[in-house]
Structure formats: structure tokens, C-alpha cells
A and B are shown apart, each in its own frame.
Chain A
């Protein structure tokens, strides 16, 4: 049983870490793009902004359980199967991208416009303003955004586990629900809480260390 619990915890971590990283790869640029293309932004593009915003809102309003089922064909195409933690990464990532993009948007647009202006006065290109001003200045807020995404994904991953995604959620359903082993259920819940706590504390600590204001 202990081996199984360790195995399931590792699977959960693997799913959540992988989908957090993957969603950051897409969500970060999307969030920045939302800020740049906004009215009064550095590169105003109303149409692009409207479309991106719409897609993000759509993704945000879709319940995860529906999204998971809706992307099954895409998952099969990408991973070859719809069972297991590798397959669960696909819906988890897709679900997290719009969530993270909004958090990134809010973090980046909180940067003091005076700093952007100072960089413009130095003759900075838009890319330099993003790389040298917007991202570094919002780093603490970005770390907090990633932490929130990670924690949310742990909850989602348990849901994915329930439909064959592996990990702690899967274990809890199989032993706790189907085999009435309440103690396994309790242990998995405790493990989930511990994982959330550890990563939340870690994220908070990193964010605080990066914050020089």
C-alpha cells in the first residue's frame, strides 16, 4: 500500500509540474500579449485583443470535467491514449492556460507605467521593455500566479484521476470509494493537503525573496 501511495503521489506531482510548466510556456506569452495589445498598451491591437480575450474567457468558463471529455480526441491524437497521467497532462494544461494567462495579464499590467515610460525614453524596443522591465518588475506577482495555478491544478488532477488519469485522485476513488477503504481515502487527502501546503509555502517564499520594493 505504501508503495502505491508513493507511486500515486509521484504521478500527481509529475502531472501537475508538467502541466504547470507547459501552461506557463503558453500562458505567459498570452498574458503579455493581452497587456501589449490592450487599448493604450504598447502595441494596441483591438481585434487581436478582443479575440484573445474571448478565447481566454471561454476556456475559463468551461467546467474542467467537461473540458476533459471535450479534449479526448485531441488527447488521443497527441499522446496515443486517454488513460494515465501522461494523457491527463493534456486537459490539465489546456485548462490552466487561460487561467494563468489572466493572472499574468493582471501581474504585468500592475507594473508602474512610469517605468515603461522611462524605458521608452531610453529608446527601448517593445521586446526590450517586456524583457527588461515588464517581466522582471512583475516577477514576484508572476511567481504567485504560478503558485496559484499549481495549487489549482492539484485539485484538477484529482478530478482527472477519477477518470483514469492516475495519481492520488485515482487512488482515492479506487480504494476509498469503490473498495470502501476509508483510511486510504483519508491518507490521500492528507497527502494532497501536504503537497498543496509545501508548494504554497515555497511559492510565497520565492515571491517574497524576489520582491525588492
Chain B
């Protein structure tokens, strides 16, 4: 539904050149909620703004719903943008218009329907986002969560197929964030909307996204379904989800410290017990986490192994054969996301 190919964006300000996007290939399937996770300054907003061409990429191709946006003239581009809704961190509602007036704005811009048809559509949308009683209120009188609901209703007004979300929950508290994320999830399910959202919060990705990518310094360092990424032992996403127990665990605990990853089909605890018996190793459990991701358990165990090196190596190989991944040493380094 959304595809970017070799997307590059360079900014030059006062003679200094910044590469905000450095060859991004992104592919979002129809009906999917896709999250792009990255630290501040990674290029997330630039990427999102390149999708509806608010920002012209320096080079590369953007395709939405099969249409190559980067090849369109101004009038066609405006028409294409009407099929792409967008919501923002700071809501960007017009203070001079009521809630209903804000939601009607995209319809006025596209010249959709008569005044009466537009107000019927607005009422329907406000009902849908749970603000049926706020039509005549001004945005300044609403809470952050209510404003974002208005912004979502506005983004949906023209029946878009795609919704872009730029840190839509970053200005909201935890409870409100959860309710907005639940609403986004509902949009994907009930309206078949494809949602591309960017965030710096792993929890947002974990809570609503089917798939995700990690953006760092203008490059996608990994992408895939959230379940796969979290289950993969070497993924940046997983490294963040399962924070290491100590900066330098080997020095802190002695022996050989390893991190073992396992998913639903493997039984981590049982395997560790078996490892100690079979290879006569002294196994200490330093830390362990099991999280339910996309309905299946995904776990990490941090172990300190003591014993002869060859038996340790054999033991680790045995673990790998039984569906438990042993993380390479460099995966321990905390990955900045």
C-alpha cells in the first residue's frame, strides 16, 4: 500500500549538509499497522512527510496505493493527498473553528458533498471517535486526548485508505495514549485502513503495530513483523525490549555470560535445566523475562555459565539445536533506539 524505494533526503542549511534519509526502502502492506521506531533526529518525521510529499525527497520513489506520488503534478498530488489522512503530535487543529468545523475542513477543501451532506458526515465521524457531544466546542476547551480524536476524525473525513501518524501520542499521558492507540487499532480493523506511524516509544510499536522498522541515522536497520523482530535474538527492537542486566555482565558476574532467546515453541527454563545436567555446568540465572508478543511467549534468559570452555561451547551448541538462540556478544552492546 505504501512503498518507498531508495528514498534520500538531504537538507542544506547555512552551507551545512544533513542527510536525513539515506536510502530508505519501506514497504507497508494494505490493512497493516506499521510502526517506524527511532531516536530523536533519526529522520522519522522526514520519512513520514516524504510519504505524502509534504517534503520533496532529494531522490527516490514514493508509491501509495499503486500510484507513484513522486511522478505526479501539483493537481494530481493534491488529489492523492486527499486519500491520505495525517495526524500530528500537536494535533494541528484550527483554533478558529469548532470541532465540527475542523472535521469538515478536508471536505470543504475537496469540495465533497453539499453543506448538509458534509455535516451529516461530520456528525457520523464525531460519533465514531466518541465526541458526538462536542461538535460545537472549540479545540481550546478540549483535553489532549479529545483533540487527537478530533484530529483523527478530521483525517478520516474524506475516506482515506492510508493514515500517517507523526508521534500522535507523544504529547499524551499513558492512559490517553492507550485509548488513542486502541482507536487506531480499531480503524485498521473496522475500516481496513493502512496506518504508518512513527514513534520513539517501543511500547507504541508493541501495543498496536503488526510490523515495524527501526530507523537510525536515516537508514532502516531492520524491519519485519513485530512478533518476528522481538523473537529474533539479534534484533534492535528486542534488545530494547529486553534491556541488559548490566553494562558489562561478564565482569559483573564472572564465568561466561550469555543471553539466550526463545519463543513459544521452545521451553527456555526446561532447556536450561537440561543444559546444566547434560554438560555438568554450573548455571546461574542472572535475569529472565518472558513477554507475550502477538499471543506467543517470547523470552530472554541471561545466564552465567561456569565450567570447562569446551563443555560450555558444546552446551551452547546444544541449546541452539533445541530452538533457543544464543545471542552473539556484540548484541549485548546497548543499541540506541
Contacts and interface: CB of A to CB of B under 8 A. Distances in A.
Interface string B81-103: 11011101010111111000000
Contacts of A210: 96
A114 interface: yes
Given A117-B54, A133-B94, A137-B94, A123 B86 contact: no
Contact of B96 (A117, A121, A137): A137
Contact of B78 (A112, A125, A136, A212): A125
B118 to A, nearest CB: 14
A132 B106 CA distance: 11
B131 interface: no
B39 interface: no
A200 B88 CA distance: 38
A128 interface: yes
B95 A212 contact: yes
Contacts of B97: 136
A112 B92 contact: yes
Contacts, number: 64
B92 A128 contact: no
Contact of B82 (A112, A122, A132, A213): A122
A125 B81 CA distance: 11
A139 B78 contact: no
A123 B82 contact: yes
A201 B79 CA distance: 45
Nearest to B86: A121
Contacts of B140: 212-213
A122 B54 contact: no
A115 B94 contact: yes
Contact of A124 (B78, B86, B95): B78
B47 to A, nearest CB: 15
A213 B95 contact: yes
B138 A212 contact: yes
B107 to A, nearest CB: 9
A121 B81 contact: yes
Nearest to A125: B78
A62 interface: no
B70 interface: no
Given A119-B105, A121-B54, A114 B78 contact: no
Interface in A81-132: 112, 114-115, 117-125, 128, 132
B79 A132 contact: no
B52 interface: yes
Nearest to B85: A121
Interface in A197-213: 210, 212-213
Interface of A: 112, 114-115, 117-125, 128, 132-133, 136-137, 139, 210, 212-213
11 contacts: A112-B92, A117-B88, A121-B54, A121-B86, A122-B110, A132-B105, A132-B108, A132-B109, A210-B96, A212-B140, A213-B140
Interface of B: 52, 54, 77-82, 84-86, 88, 90, 92-97, 105-106, 108-110, 138-140, 158, 164
Given A123-B109, A123-B110, A128-B108, 12 more contacts: A114-B92, A118-B86, A118-B88, A118-B92, A121-B54, A123-B81, A128-B109, A136-B96, A139-B96, A210-B96, A212-B140, A213-B140
**4 smallest A-B Cβ distances: which pairs?**
A123-B81, A123-B78, A118-B92, A121-B86
